[in-house]
Amino acid sequence: MFVIDCPWCGARPQSEFSAHGEAHIRRPADPEAASDAEWASYLFERENPKGPVLERWRHDHGCRRWFNIARDTATDAIFASYPADAPPPELPAHAGAPPPAPAPPLGQEPAADITDSRREEP
Ligand SMILES: [Zn+2]
């Protein structure tokens, strides 16, 4: 559990809040002209990165207001909380542990040596 700083109520335990995914999702500018693919992207496609993100939260057991936070999904460190209609803060490049090395393409062995040190040589 971590503590979230509600812009109106101050620091409260996470259990008072509910998370609602990525913040600043833009609705299609012309809904009548949007294709099915554009609607599917708007409704379902999210980034879901490991590291700093902007998220929508609601203070369910408090003021019941919506707001956004800037949080590192790897460490749960919160950099900022701000009203939903405020401009987003600038995110750090990566505030947690260094990002993992990219995975090798499917069907290829990883580049790093991953021999099991517990195994004895014959
Ligand atoms: Zn609140």
CA of 71 to the centre of ligand 1 (A): 17
What distance in angstroms lies between residue 43's CA and the mean position of ligand 1's atoms?
27
Q: Give the mean pLDDT per block of 10 residues along the chain (122 residues).
A: 94 96 92 94 92 96 97 92 92 58 61 53 54
CATH number of the 3-25+37-83 domain: 3.30.2270.10
CA angle 19, 24, 28 (to 5 degrees): 120
Count of other CB atoms within 10 angstroms of residue 59: 19
The chain-wide mean pLDDT, for the chain, equals 84
User: 3 CA to middle of ligand 1, Å?
Assistant: 12
Burial class from Cβ neighbours inside 10 Å (0-12, 13-18, 19+) for residue 64 reads exposed
pTM of the model: 0.70
- What is the whole-number distance in angstroms between the Cα of residue 5 and the centre of ligand 1? 8
Find the 72 Cα to ligand 1 centroid distance in Å: 21
Instruction: Provide the percentage of residues in the chain whose pLDDT is more than 70.
Output: 76
pLDDT digits (tens, 9 = 90+) for 91-110: 877 644 444 455 566 666 65
Query: Ligand 1: distance of its center to the CA of 88 in Å?
Result: 18
CA of 1 to the centre of ligand 1 (A): 17
* CB contact at 8 A, 14 and 1: yes
